[in-house]
Amino acid sequence: MSRLILLNKPFGVLSQFTGGKDGVDDTLAHLVDVPGVYPAGRLDKDSEGLLLLTDDGRLQARIAEPKFKTAKTYFVQVEGVANEPALDALRAGVKLNDGMTRPAQAQLIEPPEIWDRIPPIRVRKSIPDSWISVTISEGRNRQVRRMTAAVGLPTLRLVRWRVGEWAVDTLAPGEWREIDI
């Protein structure tokens, strides 16, 4: 039977078990002590939220490979006010330096009721911020950050909330649970 672990990856942790600059504290090794599981996809060190770990190579490929178009939903705090033209641009697909993205689902949302980030984001009193929900079906390097920047809304905080049918839900940063698949 395959294993699937849902982990709420904290800010500042690499999506790998070895090779961190600061030793074990900045890798998954200090969070998940389960042999033989590997991340299905990646989440940047400065991003947080749902990371799936599995020991099943086929499941890992189904989750991570762009050809399978697994939907990934992010809550994104952006600098500036997310207006309809910017959201429409995300919905149409954005031209990045590595080509056009697939169209995303994007909408303005109320600030989500989630954990505080440690350390907190830098807030500037003279520049407003807003939250958007973005769902993509590909996974280019730093894609959501590059997409929001391309439409004039630099990302301040990025939280992956859902991957396919799985969501981070009530897991606190650093917590994980194994689910039956």
Catalytic site residues?
Answer: 44
Beta bridge partners of 131: 77, 109
DSSP string, the chain: ---EEEEEEPTT--SSSS--TTGGGGSGGGT---TT-EESS---TT-EEEEEEES-HHHHHHHH-GGG---EEEEEEEES---HHHHHHHHH--EETTEEPPP-EEEEEPPP--PPPSSPPP--TTS-EEEEEEEES---TTHHHHHHHHTT--EEEEEEEEETTEE-TTPPTT-EEEE--
